């Protein structure tokens, strides 16, 4: 049986690139999405190995339960999880942020990964009859920089992801589960448009030592390395993929 990976927020960007690369590496892939069914199904069509698209809002517990139960039935027991689903809101100072925005940010970017990890652990843990596994959380370089004047709430949520990664790695090591994170920098995805500035990378290019934005495939390669046996002695690691910023 092939290994089974769930990639959350996988209909586009880093999640889509990760799903495609995981399939190339032999995984059966669950492409999770919230709204864009067509894009998720297009990713599944591009995958020649076994793959399914499953709608679920990972910040909602009942959706997460249904996501994992669907994978159990259609692909088998999950052995790898990529907590990629995340949101950003329009650039704003904190004093102008509505409570609803902050709560939604934390629900998707922090609660979601914890709920998905909980369900993955129930299936992966050697204490519970699983064969172990690997989890990669997608954080952000914003967790180090704070994103003042733009996305302090987003940066704070990703700081929580970093802390979660360290704690989970220590908690789950004896269960045969490795937990690591990748911190992307400025990557060419739709997230910048969602924040109200589609050309943000161009504006900030000179602040990146490599003088360019990253491609989703470059982040996917980092994620797949951490999932692989090549990273067998790495847990609790946070890998920066930020072009040196």
Residue 168 tokens, joined:
């989970």
Range of the domain at 187: 4-241
Number of domains in the chain: 1
Q: Is 27 a catalytic residue?
A: no
**Domain with 40 in it: what CATH number?**
3.40.50.720
Per-residue pLDDT, 191: 64
Residue 126 tokens, joined:
């050697």
SS3 241: strand
pLDDT in tens, the chain (245 residues): 689 999 999 999 999 999 999 999 999 999 999 999 999 999 999 998 899 999 999 999 999 999 999 999 999 999 999 999 999 999 999 999 999 999 999 999 999 999 999 999 999 999 999 999 999 999 999 999 999 999 999 999 999 999 999 999 999 999 999 999 999 988 887 665 565 666 777 777 778 888 888 899 999 999 999 999 999 999 999 999 998 87
∠ CA 78-26-191, nearest 5°, is: 75
The reported pTM is: 0.95
Query: How large is the C-alpha radius of gyration of the chain?
Result: 17
Active site residue: 27, 33, 151, 154, which one?
154
Rounded-to-10 torsion of CA 75, 78, 80, 84: 80
- Under a CB-based contact definition with an 8 Å cutoff, are residues 231 and 225 in contact? yes
What is the C-alpha to C-alpha distance for residues 224 and 220, in angstroms, rounded to an integer? Answer: 6
What is the C-alpha to C-alpha distance for residues 89 and 76, in angstroms, rounded to an integer? Answer: 35
SS3 80: strand
What is the C-alpha to C-alpha distance for residues 118 and 85, in angstroms, rounded to an integer? Answer: 16
Per-residue pLDDT, 196: 62
Strands of the 238-241 sheet, one edge to the other:
51-55, 28-33, 4-7, 80-83, 133-138, 177-184, 238-241
- Distance, first Cα to last Cα, the chain: 41
Per-residue pLDDT, 17: 97
Task: Kindly give, in sequence order, each residue whose CB lies less than 8 Å from that of residue 170, ignoring residues fewer than 6 positions away.
Answer: 236
- Under a CB-based contact definition with an 8 Å cutoff, are residues 81 and 57 in contact? no
Alpha-carbon dihedral sign for residues 43, 45, 51, 52: positive
């Amino acid at each position: 049986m092939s290994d089974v990976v769930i990639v959350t927020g996988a209909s586009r960007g880093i999640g889509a690139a990760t799903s495609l690369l995981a399939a190339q590496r032999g995984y059966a892939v669950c492409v999770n999405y919230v709204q864009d069914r067509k894009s998720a199904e297009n990713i599944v069509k591009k995958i020649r190995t076994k793959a399914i698209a499953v709608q679920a809002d990972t910040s909602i517990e009942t959706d997460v339960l249904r996501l994992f139960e669907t994978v159990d039935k259609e692909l088998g027991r999950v052995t790898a999880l990529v907590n990629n689903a995340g949101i950003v809101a329009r650039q704003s100072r904190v004093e102008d942020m509505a409570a609803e925005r902050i709560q939604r940010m934390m629900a998707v970017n922090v609660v979601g990964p914890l709920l998905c990890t909980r369900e993955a652990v129930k299936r992966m843990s050697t204490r519970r009859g699983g064969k172990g596994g690997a989890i990669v959380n997608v954080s952000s370089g914003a967790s180090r920089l704070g994103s003042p004047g733009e996305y302090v709430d987003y940066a704070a949520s990703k700081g929580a992801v970093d802390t979660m990664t360290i704690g989970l790695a220590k908690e789950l090591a004896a269960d045969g589960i490795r937990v690591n994170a990748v911190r992307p920098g400025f990557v060419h995805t739709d997230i910048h448009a969602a924040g109200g500035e589609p050309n943000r990378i161009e504006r900030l290019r000179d602040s990146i030592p490599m003088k360019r934005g990253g491609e989703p495939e470059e982040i996917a390669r980092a994620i797949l390395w951490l999932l692989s046996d090549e990273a067998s002695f790495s847990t609790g690691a946070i890998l920066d993929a930020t072009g040196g910023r």
